[in-house]
Amino acid sequence: MEARIRLAEEADAQAINSVYNHYVRTSTCTWHLTEETVEGRIHWLKGRSRVHPVLVVEVEGKVVGWGSLSTYNSRQGWSATVEDSIFIHHEYHGKGLGKRVLRELLTRAEALGHKSVIARISGEQAASLKLHEACGFTHAGLLKGVGHKFGQDLDCAYMLKSLRKP
């Protein structure tokens, strides 16, 4: 499958939301309970800094997924640690797109001088846990029963990837 990964643009807000809001409605991979608006997504994209990129993955010119690096904690001592997010359109699962996006995010994180990447993953999301393991993340902790969605209590698995110095 021919796929292209590039920096997201404001014009991608609708496509990013379409992918994301599917999971808001149907999955515990995000703990948001209400869908994001296009206006909110545009504001989010405009508020990104150079060191916290958003990438999209296109197949045949159509955005079918996205990933981002975000501030993990606003306290200055955490500035070299970021958190990743990856969402691939449900019809494109199992095609290696999530791994390609995550690897590109890790390459960019290292080039930007980040020292570590944290993933917070809903404990029952086996595919996401496996993806992060395949990209060199290690298990760093489990918070039992800290989330709630669709009438169930959810665990939060923490995974960590330490990066080489650029």
Whole-structure pTM value: 0.95
Return the pLDDT at 72.
96
**The pLDDT of residue 95:** 97
Can you give the CATH number for the domain in which 128 is found?
A: 3.40.630.30
The radius of gyration of the chain's CA atoms, rounded to the nearest angstrom, is: 15
Are 86 and 67 contacting, i.e. CB atoms less than 8 angstroms apart?
yes
What is the full per-residue pLDDT of the chain (166 aa) written as tens digits? Answer: 799 999 999 999 999 999 999 999 999 999 999 999 999 999 999 999 999 999 999 999 999 999 999 999 999 999 999 999 999 999 999 999 999 999 999 999 999 999 999 999 999 999 999 999 999 999 999 999 999 999 999 999 999 999 976 4
Among 24, 29, 27, residue whose Cα is nearest residue 121: 29
pLDDT at 165: 61
Structural domains of the chain, count = 1
